[in-house]
Amino acid sequence: MFIIQDTLVSLDILEKDFCCDLEHCKGCCCIEGDAGAPVEEDELRQIEQLLPELLPMMTPEARAVVEQQGLSYIDQTGERVLSIVNGKDCVFARTDHQGWCYCLIEKAASLRPQSSAPGFKKPISCHLYPIRLNRVGELTGLSYHRWDVCHCARQLGSKMHLPLYKFLREPLIRRFGEDWYNELELTAKEWKKQCAQK
């Protein structure tokens, strides 16, 4: 573990290789599992503002879940997560005729005119996956969530020699800022040097 500013970073994030291989997994992380994606209160407010845009694109089943339950619920761990359909599919996930899964929130953002503000892209927990955030006392902990459906991403990351923290550069900067990320990069380089000297 490394402390960077007010975060506690797992060594896996520096050492493990990872690169989403959508050609193989087709985005199945949005429609697998037994709970929704963690979501923050301010993110829920932003999604609520987008609902008129999102509802027409959602499946009838997803719309029914949102009408009955709302956008989110508290899961078994006590965390607020996005609502799901049939015990596994995110209400904002759609699958095309080729079996590719995509996020309606992200799709709506991509359809806005380039001249307008990009707006909310998707919850940070989705953007950061497979990094998970949790509270560790006064610090925010960053851990690596290892899931079988991401086996192809681990293989591709290893083939490309692409560390997880580099693959997730954009969402890490989105969440923690450029200065924090630069410090993370420096820490990773120093750690690599130390390992090479052993």
Q: For the chain, what are the domain ranges?
A: 1-18+134-198, 26-129
What value does the mean pLDDT of the chain take?
89
**What is the C-alpha end-to-end distance of the chain, expressed in Å?**
18
* Alpha carbon distance 6, 111 (integer Å): 36
- Which among 136, 161, 130 has a CA at the least distance from the CA of 32? 130
The DSSP bridge partners found for residue 81 are: 38, 73
Can you give the pLDDT at residue 87? 86
Can you give the pLDDT at residue 196? 81
Digit-coded pLDDT (tens) for 104-138: 999 888 877 664 555 788 999 999 999 999 988 89
* Alpha carbon distance 81, 44 (integer Å): 10
Report pTM.
0.88
Q: How far is CA 152 from the centre of its chain?
A: 17
SS (H, E, C) the chain: CEEECCEEECHHHHHCECCCCHHHHCCHHHCCCCCCCECCHHHHHHHHHHHHHHHHHCCHHHHHHHHHHCCEEECCCCCEEECEECCCEECCEEECCCCCEEEHHHHHHHHCCCCCCCCCCCCHHHHHCCEEEEEECCEEEEEECCCHHHHHHHHHHHHHCCEHHHHCHHHHHHHHCHHHHHHHHHHHHHHHHHHHHC
Can you give the pLDDT at residue 118? 56
Can you give the pLDDT at residue 113? 66
**Contact (Cβ atoms closer than 8 angstroms) between residue 15 and residue 144:** no
Digit-coded pLDDT (tens) for 34-66: 788 999 999 999 999 999 999 999 999 999 999
Q: Is the predicted pLDDT of residue 159 greater than 90, yes or no?
A: yes
For residue 114, count other CB atoms closer than 10 A to its CB.
Answer: 6
Can you give the pLDDT at residue 21? 87
